[in-house]
């Protein structure tokens, strides 16, 4: 595999679902976990009722965004991590070009994808519609400085995880919560007792509420809408 940062994940497929981007009023970038695929994470869209939402799911090279645990020193996961973050950056630029405002943009990830999505949001704060981290948290070894610059004032962030997840320590989820709160975000964190490394119905229902709020806020601003 090449060490060229621009090409590790660049030529991988992008799967889409939902409304065509040109017709969508909002968009969700969905980031799959280690060993999974874009198709796997995209299957989650069947759980949501959001006909005006465009879903975009990028594929990681070899089904892995970075090789080591998200708890490893960040340098060990380079240059893969930088390339993965750049994948999200390019997708958000694509949404900007399509006229999807940041407030109508959702970043959702599961497992390794949740780690990537939350880390990207912390490093690149903007008025996102929502950030959703399912069984994941900020990247880096214990004690990694969390001196991210910028504000996530008022951004809704949902963090859901088992309290005994074998891959994601509850302490890291709590650290992620605290970091985002310091950046001004409106954070909801739920640690589910004894749950496996999976997604549950309560999480789906909360995400649906976030989507309803985002799509509803867009409709209220359109001409001709009461």
91 vs 58: CA distance, rounded Å: 9
pLDDT in the model for residue 220 = 42
Task: Tell me the percentage of the chain whose pLDDT exceeds 90.
Answer: 92
27 vs 186: CA distance, rounded Å: 20
Count of domains observed in the chain: 1
**pLDDT at residue 223 greater than cutoff 60:** no
**CB burial class (10 A; 0-12, 13-18, 19+) of residue 122?**
buried
| Domain contains 150 | yes
Which residue segment(s) compose the domain that 132 sits in?
A: 14-220
pTM, two decimals, is: 0.93
| Domain contains 2 | no
42-70 in b/e form (b: 16+ CB < 10 A) is bebbeebebebbbbbbbbbbebbbbeeeb
CATH of residue 36's domain is 3.40.50.1820
pLDDT in the model for residue 224 = 34
| Domain contains 8 | no
| Domain contains 7 | no
| Domain contains 146 | yes
Are 161 and 136 within 8 A, CB to CB? yes
| Domain contains 226 | no
Q: What is the pLDDT of residues 90-128, one digit of tens each?
A: 999 999 999 999 999 999 999 999 999 999 999 999 999
Q: What is the average pLDDT across 36-56?
A: 97
pLDDT in the model for residue 26 = 98
**pLDDT at residue 2 greater than cutoff 80:** no
Q: What is the pLDDT of residues 4-37, one digit of tens each?
A: 555 899 999 999 999 999 999 999 999 999 999 9
| Domain contains 78 | yes
């Amino acid at each position: 595999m090449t060490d060229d940062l621009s090409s590790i994940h660049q030529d991988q497929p992008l799967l889409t679902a939902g409304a065509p981007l040109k017709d969508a009023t909002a968009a969700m970038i969905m980031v799959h976990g280690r060993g999974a695929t874009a198709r796997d994470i995209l299957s989650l869209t069947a759980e949501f009722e959001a006909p005006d939402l465009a879903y975009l799911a990028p594929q990681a090279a070899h089904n892995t965004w970075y090789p080591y645990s998200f708890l490893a020193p960040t340098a060990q996961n380079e240059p893969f991590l930088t390339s993965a973050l750049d994948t999200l950056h390019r997708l958000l630029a694509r949404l900007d070009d399509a006229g999807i405002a940041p407030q109508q943009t959702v970043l959702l990830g599961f497992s390794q994808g949740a780690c990537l999505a939350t880390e990207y949001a912390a490093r690149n704060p903007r008025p996102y519609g929502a950030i959703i981290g399912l069984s994941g948290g900020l990247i880096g070894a214990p004690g990694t400085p969390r001196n991210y610059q910028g504000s996530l004032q008022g951004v809704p962030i949902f963090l859901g995880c088992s309290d005994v997840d074998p891959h994601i320590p509850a302490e890291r989820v709590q650290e992620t919560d605290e970091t985002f709160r310091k950046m001004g975000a409106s954070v909801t964190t739920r640690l589910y007792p004894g749950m496996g490394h999976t997604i549950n119905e309560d999480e789906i229902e909360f995400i649906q509420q976030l989507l309803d709020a985002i799509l509803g806020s867009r409709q209220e601003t359109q001409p001709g809408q009461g």
